[in-house]
Amino acid sequence: MKFIAKKSEISEPLSISSYFIASGTTIPALSNILFDVKKDIVNIISTDLDISAKIKCKVEKIEEEGRVAVNKKIVSLIKKFPEAEIVFQNVKNDNINLTCLKSKYTIPGFPAEEFTTLQPEEKKLETIKLSQKLLLNIFNSVSYAALKESSKRNLNGVFMKLEGKNLEIVATDAHRLAFYKTEIKETVKAKFEYIIPLKTVNEIVKIIKEDEEKFVEINLYDKLIEFKTENIEIISRIIDENYPNYKQVIPKDFITKAIINREEILSAIERIITITSEKSKIVSLKFEKNKLLISSSVQDEGEALEEIDSKYDGDSMEVSYNAMYLIDFLKTIKDEEIEINLVSSMNPGLIKIPERDDFIYIIMPIRK
């Protein structure tokens, strides 16, 4: 294997591949990145055996085809090279020589035949396409609500349901729930339900661009899901568990609603949390005619009260929430106003964007 690449051609693909390298693994191959050099392209492959990535990289010149797995330290080394051409050549014992101007390095390699990666299953069940912008928006709109730790494995991911032309994406940690629905162009032949690991979602968000003209092809298999862009292929295992019935926790009827400026409520809550308890970060929202009072009182920490205008004409109602759950939602959207729908201080609240039903956020109140 021998090829020549400009640093600008190879540095970003290597950085992307580093997202998918296993950390703290006892399997030597998983600490490596595989270079699969074809006559017209260099494929850069990495995996932790739950998720794999292949990045197609066009380089200056390919002199010899071949495959070699290289220690992950090559990523940080390439970043520190000057903007110049770099010669990659594998030598004895599967090592790789790097030459850049007057610099010469030898990086330990690993037998390519012992490098294992996820492969698509033979039978592809379905394929859909979404614009990169839409997929990015969907994942950003819900992923923060997923459970971060793995205590409940089925909640440690984002749920995707496909039926007909309907696509629903959901995430919940049992204290809040984010739900997004949209219609796709293709009609799928059957109903598909997948829990996509949160790690997979987070890595895809890092990679895809907010581009309406470029698309992500999503291929569905029995136990795997694949995301393909023009230059990147990501294959991930799914979480093979049952997802909770999220429809039953979405309130249908409300007593009252308030419409509030998003920037104003976000700024007020961010100021108030400076005096909330480090552990609980509870804020109280008191809805009164055309105003919202946001407050917090913590012994030895202080008291805070913020008043902002709102469009509200119901009976006075007070409810307490985890402030960080509110901030997560408010920072996700860019719309000018939000709508908070309420039943009582003890029932889940539903937050959405006025005049839109494609994206909703359910948040459980806190009993003080």
Q: What is the pLDDT of residue 26?
A: 72
Q: Do 135 and 234 share a structural domain? A: yes
Q: Which residue, of 205, 232, 248, is where some domain finishes? A: 248
Structure tokens at 6: 């400009």
Are 227 and 217 spatial neighbours (Cβ–Cβ below 8 Å)? yes
Nearest Cα to Cα of residue 67 among 112, 22, 109: 112
Q: What is the pLDDT of residue 27?
A: 78
Total domains, the chain: 3
Residue 120 resides in a domain: no
Residue 279 has pLDDT above 80, yes or no: no
Q: What is the mean pLDDT of residues 67-78?
A: 94
Helices (H), 7-158: 7-18, 73-80, 132-142
pTM of the model: 0.93
Kindly report the average pLDDT of the chain as a whole number: 94
Are 171 and 145 spatial neighbours (Cβ–Cβ below 8 Å)? yes
Q: What is the pLDDT of residue 92?
A: 87
Please state, for a pLDDT cut of 90, what percent of the chain lies above it. Answer: 84
Please report, for the domain that includes residue 52, its CATH number.
Answer: 3.10.150.10
Q: What is the mean pLDDT of residues 161-182?
A: 97
**How confident is the model over 30-63, as pLDDT tens digits?**
889 999 999 999 999 999 999 999 999 999 999 9
Burial of 294 from C-beta contacts in 10 A (0-12 / 13-18 / 19+): buried
Helices (H), 51-110: 73-80
Distance, CA of 319 to CA of 68 (rounded, Å): 60
Least confident among 19-28, 178-187, 240-249, 276-285: 19-28
Q: Which residue, of 114, 142, 170, is where some domain finishes? A: 114
Q: Do 158 and 70 share a structural domain? A: no
**How confident is the model over 104-151, as pLDDT tens digits?**
999 988 889 888 889 888 899 999 999 999 999 999 999 999 999 878
Helices (H), the chain: 7-18, 73-80, 132-142, 198-207, 262-272, 323-332
* Token pair 């997979």: residue: 200
Q: φ, ψ for residue 64 (rounded to 5)?
A: -150, 130
